[in-house]
Structure 1
Amino acid sequence: MTRTAVFTDEQWARIEPLMPEAGPAGGRPYRDHRQVVEGIVFRYRAGIPWRDLPACFGPWQTVWKRHRRFSADGTWDQVLRLLLAEADAAGEIDWAVSVDSTVNRAHQHGTNLARGTGGSSNYKNLFDEPDDHALGRSRGGLGTKIHQLADGRCRPLVVLIGPGQAGDSPMLPILLEQLRVPRIGRGRPRTRPDRLRADTAYSARGHRALLRRRGIRAVIAEPDDQARNRRRRGQRGGRPPAFDTEDYKKRNTIERGFNVFKQWRGLATRYDKLALTYRGGAVLRAIVVWVTGLGDVP
């Protein structure tokens, strides 16, 4: 394979049937999905401006417009959803799930749109551009967080983004709400993992209660301040939450998954002006991970 190639013929054969055949409202058929998709992947992998795409991928305007459209109409999410359905039917998903986020600094070329401040990204409709463009100022400057649920083999199940200064804890219910893996054939989508591994940022009582109601085993470390407050209250503080120390060691799967994610320079640093297209690139990265097995670990 050359430096510009992404998929083998066998890998592309898994993706091609999942791609739309025609444009919006039954318009003209799309031409050569593979060339355009590999152009999008190359851009994020190399972290270059769209205008600098090699000519072998065709006009850069076509590549950009295709990515913009597929990010906004849910095509990338649908492809990922169908790949997850195939993996679940084959028993390939490890439902011991981990949750975390990673901060990605924004380049100055991605921060020159007017944006609302003090707001938050819109998670009810993932395909509307939020007023803040999922950009927020933290100690290191403007940035965006990628929030993920990952299976026990480092592979992403849900990918969301938010402003860089926002906390991780409020995202947990939203991530669980977005977890829907369809069944092949009859049956409801699977929405409940076997267990959830998370660090102390997700240790709120409300989160533990939510997981108990849904029958999800919590493997979440208790922070020192919560433990001190519980002990100070005596019997009113209740028992310490159950915690499996050995199982918690496997939470590193999501950190290892982020290491794979950030091998794409266009995700490790945000160059996109629009949150839609940046998240679309992150979802496309998840698609590549599932197709190529990059996140697979023993």
Structure 2
Amino acid sequence: MRSTGSRYRVFTDDQWERIESLLPSNTGVRGHPFRNNRRVIEGIAYRFRTGMPSRDLPREEFGPWQTVWKRHRRYAGDGTWDRVLAQILAEADAEGKIDWAVSVDATIARAHQHATNTTRPEQDTGAGSNHKNLPWHEVEPSGHGIGRSRGGLTTKIHQAVDGHGRPLAMIVTGGQRNDGAMLTELLAQIHVPRLGRGRPRTRPDAVIADRAYATGVIRSELRRRGITAVIPDKRDQAAARKRRGSRGGRPPGLDTDAYKGRNVIERYFALAKQWRGIATRFDKLAITYRAGLTICAILTWLRLMGDTP
């Protein structure tokens, strides 16, 4: 066991104690117990924090790099990290620590050449449109969530955070994918179980977003679900309404005080991108890259819940 002050450690002792019981049982594929499970999990997180290739992980700290990669691929594909995050969110919600005025936005991550040497169709949406009935961790998009935009080959992270900027849900698509087109699917990923009896919480009180989400379809969908839309009108829509005079109808209402809180999602993006493996995508598979985002989200909530100073 490494010393508490090791520079290779990502999880504190308290954080590890909190998630250890939430990970799968200590049996491997053939029934052999996992050995040094913490060392392997630390290697997964450390790789995303530093952005280093798996092959370069220090063997004396994390063991064989193949073991680290296989465990990460397994946990990414079977939904392990999503289940860990769901449990932590359930505990936070039970303690009243989730602010349900949810902010949504998207950010671009450049795809490194190590992530792009795969076969993919041009302009793939990366939205898993043929697999909407499956959880996102089970869907590897045909284009691996990498698309060609103005910045070249990029990935787009669609994120929903609570009113304090703490992550609730995320989706990975190609960089050219429209922000507003993914809102419905992003909101569908918000799933916070109850610790006791009752249905999971899936509906925010409000959705705060910028003008990229200012469409009639989005406003109608939020209204149908009983969610307050805090979204400013597009300038061209406002100008067209003004030109039509009384026939233009009323402009949509906007709670300007609530909209001031939208910057929390920008602050979370800045925090998440301190991990170099998130700021630049090195993973070939969208599901393993998204798993890194989920690990970052788990650590964000663990810090809130008193595990670090």
Partner of 2:111: 106
Partner of 1:73: 78
Q: CA deviation at 1:259?
A: 0.5
Partner of 1:93: 98
Using the alignment, how far apart are the partners of 1:100 and 1:233 within structure 2?
Answer: 31
Q: 1:280 to 1:240 in 2, by over 3 A?
A: same
Per mean C-alpha deviation after superposition, the further-off stretch among 155-164 and 211-220 is: 211-220
Give the 3-state SS of the residue equivalent to 1:18 in structure 2: coil
Per mean C-alpha deviation after superposition, the further-off stretch among 4-13 and 133-142 is: 4-13
Matches within 5 A, 1:1-298: 1-23=5-27, 27-55=31-59, 56-121=61-126, 122=128, 124=132, 125=134, 126=136, 127-293=138-304
Q: 1:182 to 1:24 in 2, by over 3 A?
A: farther
The aligned length equals: 294
What amino acid is the match of 1:164?
G
Using the alignment, how far apart are the partners of 2:9 and 2:275 within structure 1?
Answer: 15
Give the 3-state SS of the residue equivalent to 2:93 in structure 1: helix
Q: CA deviation at 1:18?
A: 0.7
Give the 3-state SS of the residue equivalent to 2:230 in structure 1: strand
Task: Spell out, residue by residue over 1:126-160, the C-alpha distance to the aligned partner (whole angstroms, 9 max, x if none).
Answer: 11211111001111110101111001111110011
Using the alignment, how far apart are the partners of 1:199 and 1:176 within structure 2?
Answer: 16
Q: TM-score, normalised to structure 2's length? A: 0.91
Task: Spell out, residue by residue over 1:244-270, the C-alpha distance to the aligned partner (whole angstroms, 9 max, x if none).
Answer: 112111100000000000000011001
Using the alignment, how far apart are the partners of 1:3 and 1:264 within structure 2?
Answer: 15
Q: 1:10 to 1:266 in 2, by over 3 A?
A: same
What amino acid is the match of 2:67?
T
Task: Spell out, residue by residue over 1:153-210, the C-alpha distance to the aligned partner (whole angstroms, 9 max, x if none).
Answer: 1111001100011110111101111111100011000011111110000011111111
Q: CA deviation at 1:290?
A: 1.0
Q: CA deviation at 1:19?
A: 0.5
Identical pairs, percent:
58
Give the 3-state SS of the residue equivalent to 1:293 in structure 2: helix
Give the 3-state SS of the residue equivalent to 1:152 in structure 2: coil
Q: CA deviation at 1:232?
A: 2.8
Task: Spell out, residue by residue over 1:59-98, the C-alpha distance to the aligned partner (whole angstroms, 9 max, x if none).
Answer: 1110000001111111111111111011101111111110
Q: TM-score, normalised to structure 1's length? A: 0.95
Return 5+ residue gaps in structure 1 as ranges.
none
Q: CA deviation at 1:243?
A: 0.4
Q: 1:24 to 1:188 in 2, by over 3 A?
A: farther
